[in-house]
Amino acid sequence: LKAAGYKVRVAVNAQEGLAALRSSHTFDVVLTDIEMPDMNGFEFAEVIRADHNLSTMPIIALSSLVSPAAIERGRQAGFHDYVAKFDRPGLIAALKEQTAETRNAA
């Protein structure tokens, strides 16, 4: 992602990710794996959606679980997009789409 021009902040788990999101830093989009320890990506998205200050944050899922059921579960959890792992063009396209509004407003 850095090679594609994105600034990246990495969190090792969902709790660290939530702490970063709730800090004074600003983020344009959240990219999360579905398969994480402690809290899976669906649960992570639901926590973000339930937080009044973060509820409109674009969230993209990145997962090897790309069945129709998993994608539907992602929609229900509040993901804006759902991308298969190792689909770099798909991921870059999803990031461009979700950050376009932010770039156009600047």
Q: Reduce the DSSP state of residue 101 to 3 states and report it.
A: helix
The domain segmentation of the chain, as residue ranges, is: 1-85
Whether CATH 3.40.50.2300 fits 1-85: yes
- The whole-number pLDDT of residue 24 equals 86
pTM over 0.85? The answer is yes
**In tens digits, what is the pLDDT along the chain, a chain of 106 residues?**
888 888 999 999 999 999 999 998 899 999 999 999 889 999 999 999 999 999 999 999 999 988 999 999 999 999 999 999 989 999 999 999 998 865 544 4
Whether 23 contacts 17, CB under 8 Å: no
